[in-house]
Structure 1
Amino acid sequence: MPETRTTTVRDLRRSNQSRTLWELYLHGPLTYQELATAAGVSIATVSNVMGHLLRQGAVLEVGVEDSNGGRPRGLFHINPAYGHVIGVDVGETAIMVELFDLRMRALASHRSVTTHTRLEPAEVVDQVVEGIEAVLEQSGRSESEILGVGVGVPGLVEHSVAGEAVVFDQSIGWGTVAIERMLRERTSLPLSVDNGANTLGQAERWFGAARGNASSIIVLLGAGVGASIVSGPPKHDETASLPAEFGHTTVVAGGRPCVCGALGCLEAYAGADAMVARYDELNARRQAANPREVEDRLVAILSAGPEDAHAAQVIDELYRYLGVGLGNLVNLFTPDRIVIGGWVGHALGAPALDRLRGEIASNALHRPMSRLELAPAQLGTDAVAMGAATLPVASFLRSGGESEESATPRRRLTAAE
């Protein structure tokens, strides 16, 4: 017979604390009455839970709500200084490490660039550890104040039987890499690892252009192409998003070779490396694009005037094939909104959305297309790192503000400290 688990008073308390913290984090500041309604618990339960969280220092009273002659009601929010989190964006040629408070304000950052053509797993580990040490030193924080480190990586992320994240990325030549185990050998900080497009999606869903949308797709355009598919707004049950290897869906049968080894992938037409290589091909150049120069070169191509016919052709192909790929996603998932992010998305800018919408409409069914909204990402080019930092934040919220091992949280700084 399957094992049954008895819910204890401690389990119930932690569940109520978790619900309360989720609502405060995603929708605060809130009054006790608003918390009770949002979390689906009684005022008495909220009062008990909030008393504990206030004594603990995890939440603060941040003001009062205007009243119509009645007693003013206090407004409460997460204490941003109660703990800190670190987010890591592992790109193909560079790594960004940032330290945030619990309101996701960046307090320190460190960027390192590979000395090789591509980042190798061992170099990733070295640079992540170097970046963690750098942001701790910059911010004056100690490891005891860090709730955890989130890492956004390229490729598919799966978890082993032991629960450790394993990365599969044939497109950059990594193969199978036990990245979490490698990092754990170098740092004792709690770690969470996810696909970089998924962390971008979580950042935009919590704080940016996808916030409040019941169904959305957040697209990462960079050296590669990825997407995060979201169904349902974030709640205390942390509705999951699906990372999609969007760049390796086929848009041309038997088309251009892709770095993954297949033919006709979207990334072979809309990835930054591929676009620069295509421009060189049209100009009869036989040089391999240096990954460290791709960003500058592609920005120049995208900003070229109409007199550069080859740049115009590369841009035309980008929109055409991206329209095919996104049209397929619209037909499959019928999202309310598509958010275009990543550094290539930012380089294209908001004016490009009208043209892209036309291309998507050529490939999507009329009904789902008629209610689709396109929006630019709002959080900038470091959104992958911010989204990665939300991974340990989510663990903190799920735990009810307590460590997984003990009902007694480690002491954190108060806002006054």
Structure 2
Amino acid sequence: MARPERKTVRDVRKGNRGMLLRTLYFGGPRSRHELTGLTGLSAATISTMTGDLLSEKILMEAGQVESDGGRPRVLLRVNPGYAHVIGVDVAETHVRVELFDLEMTEKARVDYTLRPSHHDIELVARRILAGIDVVLADGQVTAEQVLGVGIGVPGIVERGADTLIHAKTFGWDGVPLGALMRAGTSLPVFIDNGAKTMGQAELWFGAGRGADHAVIVLIGSGVGATVVADGLAVRGTSNSAGEWGHTKIEMSGRLCRCGSRGCLEAYIGAEGLLARAGVPAQTTDWPSALGRVLEAGGDVVQETVTYLGTGLANLINMLNPERILIGGWAGLMIGERHLDEIRVVVGENSLTQPYNATSIVLGELGPDAVAMGAATLVLEEFLDTSAPLRLHAAS
């Protein structure tokens, strides 16, 4: 049995500082007195840490509140202008790069169109790197003011030195996106599956706030999910948990882009839905095409509602979540028109008790949630480590 590692004084201080930052970020502004009660740290520790963070400009004063008979208490908050983060959404038809301040207010963005059949990794990497330069210039921010870049991608993200991506629908089998990014930028880079980044954004800032047991489903050209248990995302042994789109809904059914048959994605993903409606998948304007199909209605749309509702019922029966969020650009388009019908199908195919304990809602952050969630990968590292900005060498 391995012996637990002993924490040094430096480790304890780092952990306390991270806890203080998280408390202020998600629950601020707060006074030093309130922070003592919320964190369990001593008043002296709070005073020392907040003094350090104020001097580093990571925190700022945010007004005063009256105290019980004494001097007014100063409120503190995380300084949104202290640094910036960049989020990237690599999708079927676009690469989107966005610059945010620490409050996740968008400062600049750029979109590059991709052909659905053309996802050369070198091209995608060039688009990301070009987008970083564009948003920095448009946002009038230098690289030294940026904590890092988060990237949401399709498929399975294999963590390691090169951050290998396995995305069959893109024709990517172990492509070293991490290594390619490090060769082109000096900024720290964090990469994760796009459904997981969207899920984190909704948990932190959207319709998932406060939920300890939830499933956030992303429906775009493909289909994925973030499963949350006890407030934490379930990743599985190889970081591939959440491939809900490749659960089977029809034995020997439609051919899926993954090469298998009968996958849920082949029926509710935008590409599969459009193909079933007879719309050529070569078009890059899938949202407009999907909008026309949904507006026209008909058997294909009703079948999609049935497949989606049944897929969600399976999640409820297996995972017993308190909340299911439907997101992704296609999921939002379907849900905005047919959420009540989806709920009916879910109820017809779920066990009564877990269904009654679950709310089914739409995501609040819109189609930008993947890029925002990717940026939170950087923000999460900052809140955990509270490391001050460091100068980045020229790339």
TM-score (norm. length: structure 2) = 0.93
Corresponding residue for 2:113?
113
Q: Measure, in 1, the Cα distance between the counterparts of 2:110 and 2:66.
A: 42
Q: Among 168, 171, 177, which residue is 2:169 paired with?
A: 171
Corresponding residue for 2:348?
362
Question: Any conservation in 2 of the 1:97–1:132 contact (CA below 8 Å)?
Answer: yes
Spell out, residue by residue over 1:207-241, the C-alpha distance to the aligned partner (whole angstroms, 9 max, x if none). 000001111111111101111111234xxxxx344
Q: Measure, in 2, the Cα distance between the counterparts of 1:174 and 1:82.
A: 37
Corresponding residue for 1:307?
none
Task: Give 2:376's aligned amino acid.
Answer: T
Task: Give 1:191's aligned amino acid.
Answer: V
Identity %: 42
Give 1:64 deviation, angstroms: 1.7
SS state at 1:75 partner: strand
Spell out, residue by residue over 1:88-133, the C-alpha distance to the aligned partner (whole angstroms, 9 max, x if none). 0000121100000001000000100125733221111010001000
**Aligned runs of 1:59-78 on 2, under 5 Å?**
59-67=59-67, 69-78=69-78
Task: Give 2:51's aligned amino acid.
Answer: G
Q: Among 251, 254, 267, which residue is 2:252 paired with?
A: 254
Corresponding residue for 1:319?
305
Corresponding residue for 2:387?
402
Corresponding residue for 1:79?
79
Question: Any conservation in 2 of the 1:148–1:191 contact (CA below 8 Å)?
Answer: yes
Matched, 1:21 2:21: yes
**Distance 1:241-1:141 versus aligned 2 partners, 3 A rule:** farther
Q: Measure, in 2, the Cα distance between the counterparts of 1:65 and 1:214.
A: 32
Corresponding residue for 1:406?
none
Q: Measure, in 2, the Cα distance between the counterparts of 1:364 and 1:349.
A: 19
Corresponding residue for 2:99?
99
Q: Among 280, 287, 294, which residue is 1:295 paired with?
A: 287
Spell out, residue by residue over 1:228-255, the C-alpha distance to the aligned partner (whole angstroms, 9 max, x if none). 111234xxxxx34445111111011111
Give 1:344 deviation, angstroms: 1.1
Give 1:385 deviation, angstroms: 0.3
Corresponding residue for 2:200?
202
Q: Measure, in 1, the Cα distance between the counterparts of 2:323 and 2:123.
A: 37
Q: Measure, in 1, the Cα distance between the counterparts of 2:233 and 2:71.
A: 40
Task: Give 2:190's aligned amino acid.
Answer: S
Q: Measure, in 1, the Cα distance between the counterparts of 2:213 and 2:3.
A: 36
Corresponding residue for 2:238?
none
Q: Which moved more, 1:59-68 or 1:140-149?
A: 59-68
Q: Measure, in 1, the Cα distance between the counterparts of 2:4 and 2:195.
A: 37
Corresponding residue for 2:366?
380
Give 1:2 deviation, angstroms: 5.2
Matched, 1:56 2:61: no
Q: Which moved more, 1:129-138 or 1:43-52?
A: 43-52
TM-score (norm. length: structure 1) = 0.88
Q: Which moved more, 1:330-339 or 1:29-38?
A: 29-38
Spell out, residue by residue over 1:52-103, the C-alpha distance to the aligned partner (whole angstroms, 9 max, x if none). 1111110111112344554322221110111110000000121100000001
Question: Any conservation in 1 of the 2:326–2:335 contact (CA below 8 Å)?
Answer: no
Q: Measure, in 2, the Cα distance between the counterparts of 1:25 and 1:369.
A: 34
Q: Which moved more, 1:357-366 or 1:2-11?
A: 2-11
SS state at 2:345 partner: helix
Q: Measure, in 2, the Cα distance between the counterparts of 1:36 and 1:213.
A: 25
SS state at 1:177 partner: strand
**Aligned runs of 1:325-340 on 2, under 5 Å?**
325-340=311-326
Q: Which moved more, 1:212-221 or 1:168-177?
A: 168-177
Q: Which moved more, 1:141-150 or 1:41-50?
A: 41-50
Question: Any conservation in 2 of the 1:172–1:259 contact (CA below 8 Å)?
Answer: no
SS state at 2:277 partner: helix
Question: Any conservation in 2 of the 1:118–1:291 contact (CA below 8 Å)?
Answer: no
Note the residue ranges of structure 1 that are not aligned, 5 or more in a row: 234-238, 281-286, 305-310, 404-408, 413-417
Q: Which moved more, 1:259-268 or 1:353-362?
A: 353-362
SS state at 2:214 partner: strand
Task: Give 2:212's aligned amino acid.
Answer: A
Give 1:362 deviation, angstroms: 1.8
Q: Measure, in 2, the Cα distance between the counterparts of 1:146 and 1:47.
A: 28
Question: Any conservation in 1 of the 2:28–2:76 contact (CA below 8 Å)?
Answer: yes
SS state at 1:362 partner: helix
Question: Any conservation in 2 of the 1:86–1:98 contact (CA below 8 Å)?
Answer: yes
Question: Any conservation in 1 of the 2:65–2:74 contact (CA below 8 Å)?
Answer: yes
